[in-house]
Amino acid sequence: MHSQAGMAKVERFYGIGDNPYSDIQGANNAGDHWTSVLVRTGIFTDVDNHQQHPADVVVDGVDDAVEWILAQEASFSME
């Protein structure tokens, strides 16, 4: 259906959140096509990645998460 509507197939998903126990664990358990991004706002404020539920990347805020994702997508489109 996506190709019929002229839409590209989504191949990567990003789970952004500040709660390692729900947001990050959920993204990590969702499958290989998901990348977890832990933000240091709200619940999580540590410098290092969470030990029990580590994210694929840790950034300071949502704006940093969006910038990181855009950079990742740009590098994927160059391949």
Domain region containing 26:
13-78
Lowest mean pLDDT among 1-5, 19-23, 41-45, 48-52: 1-5
Domains: count for the chain: 1
Q: What is the mean pLDDT of residues 57-64?
A: 97
Is residue 7 in a domain?
no
With respect to residue 5, please indicate whether it lies within any of the assigned structural domains. Answer: no
Residue 29 pLDDT > 80, yes or no?
A: yes
pLDDT at 79 over 70: no
Return the structure tokens found at 32. 């290989």
Residue 21 belongs to a domain? yes
Q: How far apart are CA 7 and CA 32, in angstroms?
A: 22
Please give the average per-residue pLDDT across 12-41, as a whole number.
97
**Does some domain include residue 29?**
yes
- Strand residues in the chain grouped as ranges (E): 13-17, 34-39, 57-59
Q: Is 19 helix (H, G, I), strand (E, B) or coil?
A: coil
- Is 61 within a domain? yes
Answer yes or no: is pLDDT of 62 > 80. Answer: yes
- Does 54 map to a domain? yes
The pLDDT, as a whole number, for residue 7 is 78
Would you say residue 8 lies in a domain?
no
- CATH number, domain at 46? 3.40.50.1000
Assigned domain for 6 exists = no
Instruction: In whole angstroms, give the CA distance from residue 66 to residue 74.
Output: 12
